[in-house]
Amino acid sequence: TLITIPNAELSKMKLTNISEPDIKLKLRIPIGVAYGSDIDKVKRVLLEIAKEAPDALDDPSPMVIFNEFADSSLNLLLIVWISDIKRKIMVVDYINSKIKKRFEEENIEIPFPIRTLYIQKEK
């Protein structure tokens, strides 16, 4: 089927491109903090960072979930919805960079795994 639309009519119409979806994207950013960290403080700092992030949406609002007690850290999950799926990498970079900087300023430690080995002497 061939449909012909005169240019005059086409120029008056509002066109919507449906080939590229307008979709929100849910970012899940895991972060581990040291045992002994003030979880309420960590959550507050993470939410402040998320709310300042470019393209972050207010609705649904960012949230932080205390996810698990891991071997070397208390693991949290920062959830942020962004408006532009194409900006995912830039938003993640922004948030991770801000987390590193703010955690240093707030004296929140990001731990790394420590392994202790006991070696027995041969008799």
| 37 contact partners, CB below 8 Å, separation of at least 6 | 74, 108, 109
Whether 101 maps to a domain, the answer reads yes
Q: 118 lies in a domain?
A: no
Number of domains in the chain: 1
Looking at residue 95, which CATH number applies to its domain?
3.30.70.100
Asked if residue 110 is part of any domain, the answer here is no
What pLDDT is attached to residue 43? 98
pLDDT in tens, 5-49: 788 877 787 766 666 566 789 999 999 999 999 999 999 999 999
| Euclidean distance between CA atoms 68 and 110, whole angstroms | 15
> Is 50 among the domain residues?
yes
- Overall average pLDDT of the 71-76 stretch: 94
Q: Which residue from 25, 35, 44 is spatially nearest to 90, judged by alpha carbons?
A: 25
pLDDT for position 123? 75
pTM of the model: 0.75
Q: Which domain holds residue 34?
A: 25-105
Instruction: Tell me if 7 is assigned to some domain.
Output: no
Does residue 19 fall inside a structural domain? no
Is residue 90 one of the residues assigned to a domain?
yes
